[in-house]
Structure 1
Amino acid sequence: MTRPAAMTIRELRGLSELQLTPPLARAIWGDDDHPEDPALLQVVQRIGGLVAGAVDDAGQLWAYLVALPTREGSVQHSHRLGVHPTCRGAHLGERLKRFQRDWALQRGIQQVRWTFDPLLLINAHLNIHRLGAVVRTFLPDYYGQMSGINAGAPSDRFEAEWALRSARAEARLAGHAQEPWPEQALHPLDGDLPGALPDRLAVCVPADFSRMLREDRDGALAWRRATGPLFTRLFAGGHTLTDVHLARAQYLFTRTGSAC
């Protein structure tokens, strides 16, 4: 498939457009993926959720987002965000999240939360560095055994918290990032953790965990085993994931009164 020159980010309209989501989901996450039934997505929209997509002039869907209402009226849970492999690097994920932010604020929603793989550097960079979300929660093997591109390793997840009107989110969305980074970084595979952890800690992560999972399963599992206890300890000790350095393949954890 050839990437179109222009796409519109908007809510999907009616069952005919919602029916475009299952084939797109399988193109993104693999043939074993179990996408939501389009009729269920129609219900999600009706009860106050969001189903949005990137649609070209011919009506083809290239990316989509599904977000659900929660028991807290001011909080939305973002369930799915996927971009067709042909369109990677076109910033459709960020455009969808910006659309989601505007949509949510218009309806009185102040925070959006979602889960993502702790070792997917590209996703973390979007979520933390570009959007201004933070992470304080680690969820070990959250989805149990998974299939498709996620198969082969425990389904550990971070929970992102995106305070939509926070000064942090406003600054990151405007392209301003001023986090000071430590000169040295901790590598999770280089032995035991130190007894005391500093208030600002840079942690190395794989540059391409998805590729490692495909080509070096033992290496991917070693990263999972090493990082789970580290993330658990950091969050239990009051650290927050506040920044991501794409070129260095590092996360920045800070321990302060408030990261938002």
Structure 2
Amino acid sequence: MTDELIIKSLSTLEDLQEVQRLEILVWGMDCVPTHQTITAVKNGGLVLGGYINDQLVGFQYSFPGFKDGRVFLCSHMLAIHPAHQKKGYGRLLKLAQREEALKKGYDLITWTYDPLESVNANLNIGKLKAVCSTYMEDCYGNMEDTLNEGLSTDRFVVEWNIRQEGREEITLPENSTHIVITEMNDQGFPYIKDYHLETNADVVAIPIPTDIQKIKKGDLRLAIDWRSKTGELFKTLFANGYIVIGIERVQGEHIQHYLLKKTGLRGK
């Protein structure tokens, strides 16, 4: 169950200053200047605020993007107040973003996220049905906030085709050979024991831990190992025509899997 979340488009300086305060609380780093957000809103961008009892508990910020002759909405930031996380508000804000983007004439929304963050993976790939075929190494350089400190800021670039009603659902065939083997170490953390990069399978599964932040706090070297090995796997598979198109998650497990399908289209 969720409390009633009221979502509205924000455009006043006062509202955007309130967004700044929530951004600082959630991310713990320098916030986006209001002169940037208010300019974006006036020029095809979007800031949505989610309210409970007139209190701002979440927001989403996006601005216009342009690449290869195509205009799209670039979704830069989504944040939920710590006291209201894991209630489904992030998904509601993204669905509201979709509706507002359609009204503005967009048909594509893109954004980046850390592929090792399982909650974001479940929202972006699992629930919203976005896809990914681009891996960016150290996208934002060194960041010292709690979530990013200690790891390179590698990111997935996801694409959400908002005029499509659905997306092909895939599963890993029962007789599939995993190209990544994981085990648990003495600390109770999952690790990649072995992997290989050569495969011709139509569908492959790449694991990530369900709690990379816990691993990072307990064993930073292991977290870095997860970043390095999964990064190599994703970059190789994308270059060979695979695309992330699904999530396989088992309740209570320490890992979950991205499902990638071979398309023949070369990614990055």
TM range (shorter): 0.7 to 0.9
Aligned partner of 1:225 among 218, 224, 228: 228
SS of 2:7 mapped into structure 1: strand
State TM-score, norm by structure 1.
Answer: 0.88
Q: Is the 8 A contact 2:135 2:155 kept in 1?
A: yes
In 1: Cα distance, 2:57 partner to 2:121 partner? 21
Aligned partner of 1:47 among 43, 47, 52: 43
In 1: Cα distance, 2:23 partner to 2:79 partner? 7
SS of 1:146 mapped into structure 2: coil
Higher mean C-alpha displacement, 231-240 vs 246-255: 246-255
Amino acid across the alignment from 1:187: I
In structure 2, the partner of 1:94 is: 91
Aligned-pair CA distance for 1:10? 1.3
- Are 1:71 and 2:66 matched, yes or no? yes
SS of 1:114 mapped into structure 2: strand
Q: Is the 8 A contact 1:21 1:38 kept in 2?
A: no
Cα pair distance change 1:136/1:159, threshold 3 Å: same
In structure 2, the partner of 1:141 is: 138
Aligned-pair CA distance for 1:194? 4.7
Aligned-pair CA distance for 1:107? 1.5
Higher mean C-alpha displacement, 132-141 vs 204-213: 204-213
Which structure shows the bigger proportion of residues in helix conformation?
1
SS of 2:263 mapped into structure 1: coil
Aligned partner of 1:127 among 110, 124, 137: 124
Q: Is the 8 A contact 1:65 1:82 kept in 2?
A: yes
In 2: Cα distance, 1:194 partner to 1:116 partner? 23
Aligned-pair CA distance for 1:180? 2.0
In structure 1, the partner of 2:105 is: 108
Aligned-pair CA distance for 1:104? 0.8
Aligned partner of 1:28 among 26, 45, 50: 26
In 2: Cα distance, 1:118 partner to 1:196 partner? 21
Q: Is the 8 A contact 1:68 1:78 kept in 2?
A: yes
In structure 2, the partner of 1:179 is: 170
SS of 2:122 mapped into structure 1: helix
Q: Is the 8 A contact 1:115 1:159 kept in 2?
A: yes
Amino acid across the alignment from 2:95: R
Aligned-pair CA distance for 1:210? 2.0
SS of 2:74 mapped into structure 1: strand
In 1: Cα distance, 2:56 partner to 2:75 partner? 19
Q: Percent identity?
A: 32
Higher mean C-alpha displacement, 249-258 vs 229-238: 249-258
Amino acid across the alignment from 1:134: V
Amino acid across the alignment from 1:154: S
In structure 2, the partner of 1:57 is: 53
In 1: Cα distance, 2:153 partner to 2:198 partner? 28
Aligned-pair CA distance for 1:121? 1.1
Q: Is the 8 A contact 1:187 1:203 kept in 2?
A: no
